[in-house]
Structure 1
């Protein structure tokens, strides 16, 4: 028997955890945290425990290191999982870093215990190059090999091809993980698999397409110009991995163009000197760590980014970039920017405003109309980010740490900077499989997004399309 089970990301977009059963053995694809409203719904969402059998699980395959895909790995180990953790080579470097942060925030402050857990995780990690088959188990009656392919979501992200055999039955099953948009900075776009009998596909943006790269760049420029014109702060809640680095890449490009006096996007009322004085702040130790890792892993960048480096540009390390690490410096920066009239762009976590340093900035800056909040990623239901996006444009309020804060700052959303594929990208990925899969399972999306993707795939593919409940 070859079967697929789902332990997360079926009632929403977080908590990704899927199981491929091959005879008496199996593997997990991801083991992530639930977030937002989903943290109170679904299997294990509230207590984080692993309540499904794992005695037969031979390996964990990690598609990428976002916390909603890897955050429950410590709990998986605590439940007795003893197998390898298979991932791409970049993810092998980043996984301990993201889990160290998760352990400190939600597990324990005991440094010795954290080091023991991280040591155990490092000992289990098996880096696998892209495009190379890796045998997980090979028995007389059942076998399984996996192959990782670039997913274009964040550095190291992969979709997983599984070649399974059980009692003479053979199947190629693909788990998409999170797929990236084809026009994302820094990373090559994902290419569809050569074949697949069954596919488990994400649907975060299964109901909509993103703006073009030109459109989103124009809108980013317009938001930055507002800060430059009135001395406000542009606050960008951004995930430490992927989004922060892509935004730095784009902002460096804008400064490089307008700071030199050119204006490829139209009439620019802001002077060259002003652009050159715009300060960019990354206020997140974790984001700073992953930005350094991104710089160290240039061989995994796309051709455009590598060409910039060859021209002497430094898209992730430029003169106007400041990194804040200590909590004291963070608090000083919040106070200074709230009172000053110096234009500044601050990238800080968390991406959905559900915690982290962004909360202090929001408390200090939401009531000032000089400021802007720019959302560039998905905001899950039940998060402050979703509420600010919904009520902010109408002059509403948001609750932060049990207090209400009025929203007078300008609120923006630029969807083109999402690290997720849009609807057309997902359809193109699925349509690119030469022979349509017999079964497609749609996961990792809100109910409307899943239904919309199912409807459009029904019109394009002759496959049995399911939405697991």
Structure 2
């Protein structure tokens, strides 16, 4: 009898991984990194709890590292089979995994310098760029909405999840002993208020459903309110001559912000500011977004086309929609931006300010009362970004302590995840015979709140535990 075992994203949000067994066939859904505190991340160094070489296929819902980041470890342990994902994900994953490997190698190098001085045993990085290159050999891109065979008796179909470019709701079709079953994994469902991407696809039937619950306990601020505050901050900065700093995640959030700035530009509300995208990774991702404009929603694609010059699809891009956008790729170009004291908007990583080029812009702008910092993403407890949101008066960068005189803003409507109401709306499309529902990808409070909410709509949700096996 077919079964599913929960190996990640059940005691928190990260580490997505589920093992499907159908007869003697084994398919792995997602292979994500555990992220967060040191205790959580220690799980990444543990061996996989199954025989890696016996897997017949791997299916990836999307490119975020909490869903994809352990794939190089899987290959290093002996997996040599196909890894299926959507076509945009196959491009994005190369960027994200290489960046992750570079960070792993850099962190190991710094740690080993310390260990050598202390006479301790050196460590190896979690994985290397060579491991990533080997992993990419097994990645197979697939189109949305088309059914593909994984192995005997198991097919997959990717529906659009609307979370980031290439994100998918994974439909698994199982045939066993003449019986047909369907497993649906929501992946991460997108926020229907977000720009560029389509709303999550409607699914009406399943026998078993795994549903994310990241924002299962809350609602988002309306996009209208968020965009009005965004406009007000830009107008204020324009009036007093300050720079605007936007710490942003490279995938999804950056492209949303560029589009929203483009809307303001086309409305004549960005008159003086030049927008600098100062992140090689975000630049690479933005170019991938450009290659897959056919998956944008119709409304936003029409807006881009309306304000683009003649010349075919190459001219219809976020660059044409926001002509003041400039890329800063090299270290020298980034350093040169530090000489700009007013009239600029800097978009740079990292999203929570614990690394990346945004910290250098902080060094040259945080102490200026004319400057503005706009947080457009969640800031986890313990991160430098959270400290600024909570009102820190000083900010440490290396050995320097910077006075925080800039105005700090938090815009809560740019989330890429569905809210509780949006999750309930998506569930409402399932037909009267409801699937067995399992809540994953959420902190305990979010899952419990969503369990109560879906219960009021006739669902009996289960919150699984790590290592639990259920049959289909």
**TM-score (normalizing by structure 1):** 0.86
Distance 1:51 1:403, change over 3 A: farther
Provide the residue aligned with 2:318 in structure 1: 316
**1:352-363 equivalences in 2 (<5 Å):** 352-363=352-363
Distance 2:456 2:222 in 1: 24
Cα pair 2:217 2:449 within 8 Å, conserved: yes
Q: Deviations over 1:60-102 (max 9, x none)?
A: 2111112222122111111111111101111122221222222
8 Å Cα contact 2:76-2:131 kept in structure 1: no
Deviation at 1:405, TM superposition (A): 5.1
Partners of 1:363 and 1:35 in 2: how far apart? 27
Whole-angstrom distance in 2 between the partners of 1:23 and 1:376: 46
SS in structure 1 of the partner of residue 20 of structure 2 = strand
The secondary structure found in structure 2 opposite 1:189 is coil
The equivalent residue for 1:332 is 336
In structure 1, what is the Cα distance between the partners aligned to 2:86 and 2:348?
26
Structure 1 partner of 2:283: 288
CA distance in structure 2 between the partners assigned to 1:49 and 1:354 by the alignment: 28
Contact 2:57–2:150 (CA under 8 A) maintained in structure 1: yes
Q: CA RMSD in A?
A: 2.5
| Change in CA separation of 1:2 and 1:353 when aligned onto 2, cut-off 3 Å | farther
Aligned residues: 439
Shift of 1:51: 4.8
Whole-angstrom CA distance in 1 between matches of 2:221 and 2:433: 28
Instruction: Give 1:125's aligned residue.
Output: 139
CA contact (8 A) 1:44 1:51 kept: no
Q: Give 2:104's aligned residue.
A: 106
1:420 corresponds to which residue? 417
* Distance in 2 between residues matched to 1:206 and 1:302, nearest whole Å: 25
The DSSP-based 3-state class of the residue aligned with 1:8 is coil
Give the 5 Å matches for 1:380-419: 380-389=380-389, 391-392=390-391, 395-397=392-394, 406-419=403-416
**Residues 11-70 of structure 1, C-alpha deviations (whole Å, 9 max, x = no match):** 322222222232333222222223332x4227724x375454323322221111122221
TM-score w.r.t. the length of structure 2 is 0.86
Q: Is the CA contact 1:62–1:86 (under 8 Å) kept in the aligned structure 2?
A: yes
Match of 1:264 in 2: none
Equivalent residue in structure 2 for 1:230, among 225, 236, 240:
240
Q: Secondary structure at the match of 2:170?
A: strand
Determine the structure 2 residue equivalent to 1:62.
60
* CA deviation string 1:121-158 (max 9, x = no partner): 332121111111111111xxxx2111100000111110
Map Cα deviations across residues 410-446 of structure 1 (whole Å, 9 max, x no partner): 2222222111111111111112111353422212122
Q: For residues 434 and 402 of structure 1, what CA distance do their matches in structure 2 show?
A: 60
- In the other structure, the counterpart of 2:116 is none
C-alpha separation in 2, matches of 1:232 and 1:376: 19
Runs of 4+ with deviation above 4 angstroms: 113-116, 395-406
Structure 1 residues 369 and 33: CA distance shift in structure 2, 3 A: farther
- Give ranges in structure 1 of 5+ residues lacking alignment: 260-274
User: Distance in 1 between the 2:386 and 2:406 partners?
Assistant: 15
- Confirm or deny: 8 A CA contact 1:29 1:60 kept in the other structure: yes
Alignment-derived partner of residue 169 in structure 2: 159
Q: Does 1:454 align with 2:451?
A: yes
Instruction: Give the secondary-structure state (helix, strand or coil) at the position aligned to 1:417.
Output: coil
1:167-316 aligned at under 5 Å gives the runs 167=177, 170-259=180-269, 275-313=270-308, 316=318
Secondary structure at 2:318 match in 1: coil
Matches within 5 A, 1:23-172: 23-37=23-37, 39-41=38-40, 44-45=43-44, 47=45, 50-107=48-105, 116-138=130-152, 143-167=153-177, 170-172=180-182
Residue of structure 2 equivalent to 1:465:
462
Unaligned runs of 5+ in 2: 110-126, 309-315, 467-472
Tell me the secondary structure at the aligned position of residue 288 of structure 1: helix
Deviation at 1:455, TM superposition (A): 1.1
